[in-house]
A and B are shown apart, each in its own frame.
Chain A
Amino acid sequence: MKIQARAAGAVAAVYGFFLIFAQFAFVELLRGHGAGPAAEKWALGAMAVAGIAAGFGVAKRGATVVGLRLALVLAACAAVLAPWASGGVSGMGVAVLTGLAVGGGTVSLAALLPGWCGARWIGWGTGLGYAICNVPWVFSASPEMQAWIGAGFALLGSWLVPSGLEEQRVPSGPSHGEVGVGGAVVAVGVFLALVWLDSAAFFIIQHERDLKEGTWGGAMLWRNAGLHLLAGGLAGEWLARRVWKEPVAVAWGVLAIAALAVNHPSTRGLAGWMYPVGVSIYSAALVTWPGWAGRSSTVVWRAAWVFAVAGWFGSANGIGMAQALQRVPWEFVAISGAGLALALTGWRAWRQWLAVGGVLGIACWRSQGGTGASRETAEERGRQVYLAEGCIACHSRFVRPEDPEGWGPPSNVDKVLHERPVTIGNRRQGPDLTHVGARRSAAWLKEHFLAPQKWVVGSPMPSYAHLFEDDRGADLIAWLMSDQEDAREWRGVRSLEWRPEGEPEGEGSRLFAAHCAVCHGPEGRGDGEFAKRWVRQPANLVEGPFVWTVDASTVARAIHWGLPGTDMPGHELLSDGETLALAKWVLALRTGGKPEE
């Protein structure tokens, strides 16, 4: 096997061991043996101290292939012993053993990698490690089984470690220039921020049941595996172009979105996509960076510092923050972003960051203070919801003299311009909403907001169910219903004058299934899927109210204009011919669907 492939495999195996055993299974096993929060903290603390000590020990003595193999064998032993360890001394012993193995192994590996392969292979190895841990069979296994899998990863990694370089204590990898102490401090700080953010988001995802199911449940695992592999691999390709600041900045941006998205139930789905991508990108950079620049003799020290400070310290603080606050505060995201930006661009760019800070500071300051919403009426608040949701992007509120008569009377220009701001809009992806309260009932509007496609076949409108988790939905409907009086009389007169023109078009049964069955039921008996949603059950069209009706135009009028004062909406978008065909089918329902002569 090629030396690069073996090195990438070793990276994948070390990540696999760390993720599936040290981070998951060991903690679960401790809990399974009755260890309380205090014992768990002590065990994890001991693991961190041992890990840091082992890392610096390797830095002092030098990284060797033999040492790396030994560390991985030690890791396998820890994983094998873990199922029998209790929360007491034995648990502490396994924790220390795991810490020594992880600390010594990761620093040795990061220091040796530059002599074996480039960033490209490291990236794909990182992505592969994460991807394997997300395979459902691995991810969902019992903690005992995961411990065995972890041991397998460690032994596999020990075997994959490239041989033939045992005598080379300090590998000589390609150098991209010198990194001084200042540069190293900056990089360690940058990775600290990333690990902190990652750990906090990870903890919250882990401890919110719905979030965990929404991001790591069922088929999501395959998606996550694919995202990890792809993001890690592409990050490696990017890092291979001799850049590291840009990938790290992108990783922070993606992780910041994920971290903020986990705070709100309606955006948590986004976190499921973002989190694997951000983590894989920065993880590839984390392993690559120590060998990135500077004298090869200092690679191992850089690895020790970055894993000690960013790895151990960062993850402990991230978890601690999430435990204390149960969320990722936006202030932390903003401060870490500002610090990251300053660190990546350097102090010479002080003007730039002063300017950016000035803009952000003024913007935050001017954004403070309430909107006085409590003093407003429901209609006024509803208008604000209309503006905030950008309804104006798809709906107009201006009926032209030439508009189809279904929208209502032409708008009064003076009244339209009197609004603050004017809500005319410029595009109709959906209908004009000027007099929608005269065309639809409040109950119908709510049902439509919840599931638009149920009511309008093929509608491009997405669901706005989240508006009904608080009062915004009700306020919006209150505003939409507020100007119906202007149009009610106009619609009453027009509907009486209206008669469908031409001949029936299309199949009445098909039109009925598409537009009516959801309420009136497939056979028109008033027992549709949503029939119970209304105050009054939809009409049974087989037994009434059209049981004595002869003229299809009467039925067509009800279909086209709806029935004012009820939840029956108009169907203004159907052509006259389609309305007639539908009306004839409604009449035919009285005789079991046979058209009447």
Chain B
Amino acid sequence: MNGGVRSAARHALGWLVVANAVGLWLSLLLLFPKWQVGEWTYGRWVPVHLNGQLYGWTALPMVAWLFGVYGVSRRWADAALGAWSAALAVGGLSWLNGGSSGKIFLDWKGGALAGLLVAMGILWVALWRGECRWRPVLRWGGLVGLAMIPVMMAVAASPELYPPIDSTTGGPTGSSLLGSTLFVVGLMMLLPASVGLRLATDGRTGRIVLGYFGLSWAVFGVTEFLGGTHWDFWQEGAMVMLVPWVVGLPIWWRRYEWPEGTQWWRQAMFGWWALLVLSGVTAYFPDVLDRLKFTQGLVAHSHLAMAGFTTSFCACLLRLLGVNLGSRFSAWLWQGAAWVMVGVLMGMGWAEGGGVAWMAENPGWRIAGWGIRSGCGVVMLAVSLHWWLAAGVSGESKCGAKA
């Protein structure tokens, strides 16, 4: 395994531990509000949790993937990772110090934003210095594309910019949800070939999936132009375009020869993926969305996306890169805790959606739900700690030179 990949895995899992610890703390603060410590309020810890999960646990396995692809040396990888973690730590201190911009998941401003952009620049230099096995045109194409990310980040983090909203909910439109999901789909389609997995079947099914990918983007373009609300059939149609991807992605991945050690996590990931897409599409429809909007139901859906799908994807990616994630039992524990948490929060959200006073009038159910959520948080924190420790142990790469 590339030394830089192992370093990236340890940083990623380290941030997973930190973000999970903060998440657990947040869940406990809901149960025991008096535990809040002075200036470090619940609202200030929230971006530390969210961004730790996104820019730490989710982003860094992809950085590990890039290290593998670009053949980055251990020393340059450590430099880039040190800068990335320092930027995220600065961000954490900034949010705890009240330096929030108010843009969820793009909560970077001032010194924290500058630090993140510098870290992205150092990462780019590390990739440029690497010994990439790709053809020059692909290598430079990738580098040019990656050079755009800091620019896009600076633009997206600006308070001046806000995406179109559904005027009846204040949330995203169906088309913008389609677009952001297609971006994830594209990344996942790129993954197997980029790590050197060989094709196992002919290209016919691949061409069908690619064709549907193009069609999906076309629908996105049209519906984004039209705008509208979740009461408009074209916006609902945009969301329905996601349903075939429940099978489309597994079909795409099945075309490749996968190393044995990744099968469990692939199955887990596609299980969550199916649930994520189907529940997301269902939750967009009139009356369902009106019931779930602003409730624990959407918190459940966020955890379904991050604790369920994204974590399984990142774990699968790390296994593919040869990272040891400890025992299978720990993986089952994580999945179990994530399922219970999502289920309980979804149940609470559905009840809350029936009457805005449900949370206030049913303290017993509310406390029980949040208590179970905290219990799941304890399990997930322990598992992430186990993974972090295990990633430091030299693990046998399941895909060897292919990765």
Establish whether residues A267 and B102, one from each chain, have CB atoms under 8 Å apart when the complex forms. Answer: no
Which residues of A in the span 245-294 have a Cβ within 8 Å of any Cβ on B? Answer: 264-270
Q: What are 29 residue pairs bridging A and B, where the CB atoms are less than 8 Å apart in the complex?
A: A349-B75, A349-B78, A351-B75, A351-B76, A352-B81, A353-B82, A355-B79, A355-B86, A355-B119, A359-B122, A365-B114, A367-B94, A367-B110, A367-B112, A389-B43, A390-B41, A390-B43, A390-B47, A392-B104, A400-B168, A400-B170, A403-B356, A426-B171, A427-B295, A428-B294, A429-B359, A463-B34, A573-B361, A574-B357
Task: List, in ascending order, chain B residues with CB within 8 A of A423's CB.
Answer: 102
Chain A minimum-CB-distance residue to B81:
A352
Other-chain residue from B38, B94, B104, B162 in contact with A466 (beta carbon distance below 8 A)? B38
Within the complex, the shortest CB–CB distance from A444 to chain B, in Å, comes to: 17
Pick from A348, A394, A573: contact of B43, CB under 8 Å:
A394
The residues in B between 116 and 173 inclusive whose CB is less than 8 angstroms from any CB of A are 118-119, 122, 159-160, 162, 165, 167-171
Q: A349-B78, A362-B118 are in contact. Are A387 and B102 (CB under 8 A)?
A: yes
Tally of chain A residues near chain B (CB < 8 A): 70
Is B360's CB under 8 angstroms from A458's CB? yes
Chain A residues near B75 (CB-CB < 8 A): 348-349, 351-352
**Within 8 Å of chain A (Cβ to Cβ): is B37?**
yes
Give the docked Cα–Cα distance between A351 and B115 (Å): 16
Residues 362-389 of chain A: 1 if any B CB is under 8 Å from the residue's CB, otherwise 0?
1111110000000000000000000111
**Which of B30, B43, B99, B101 interacts with A460 by CB under 8 Å?**
B30
B41:A359 contact, CB within 8 angstroms: no
The minimal Cβ–Cβ distance linking B10 to chain A, given in whole angstroms, is 12
Contact B100 A388 (CB under 8 A): yes
User: Chain B residues with Cβ under 8 A from A352's Cβ?
Assistant: 75, 78-79, 81-82
Question: Is there an interface contact between B118 and A351, defined as CB atoms closer than 8 Å?
Answer: no
Cβ-neighbour of B101 out of A362, A366, A387, A426 (below 8 A): A387
Closest to A575 in B: B357
Q: Which residues of B contact A417 (CB under 8 A)?
A: 162, 165
User: Which of A264, A351, A401, A404 is the one whose CB lies under 8 Å from B78?
Assistant: A351
Q: Closest Cβ of chain A: how far from B350's Cβ, in Å?
A: 15
Most chain B beta-carbon contacts within 10 A, residue among A268, A392, A416, A432: A392
B42 near A363: Cβ-Cβ < 8 Å: no
Q: Answer yes or no: B277 CB below 8 A from chain A CBs.
A: no
Pick the residue among A362, A391, A420, A462 that contacts B114 (CB under 8 A).
Answer: A362
Q: Mark A386-419, 1 if CB is under 8 A from B, else 0.
A: 0111111110101011111010000101001100
A487 neighbours in B (Cβ, 8 Å): none
Q: Does A545 contact B (CB under 8 A)?
A: no
Tell me whether A429 and B30 are in contact (CB under 8 A): yes
The answer to the question of B363 belonging to the interface, with a C-beta cut-off of 8 Å to chain A, is yes
Determine the residue in chain A with the shortest Cβ distance to B85: A356
Question: In the assembled complex, which residues on chain B have CB atoms less than 8 Å from the CB atom of A574?
Answer: 357
| Chain A residue with Cβ nearest B97 | A388
Contact A394-B111, Cβ < 8 Å, known A356-B86, A411-B170, A429-B30: no
In the complex, which residue of chain B has the Cβ closest to the Cβ of A260? B93
A574–B357 alpha-carbon span in the complex (Å): 7
A461 at the interface (CB under 8 A from B): yes
Instruction: Answer yes or no: A549 CB below 8 A from chain B CBs.
Output: no
B61-103 residues at the A interface, CB under 8 angstroms? 75-76, 78-83, 86-87, 90, 94-95, 98-103
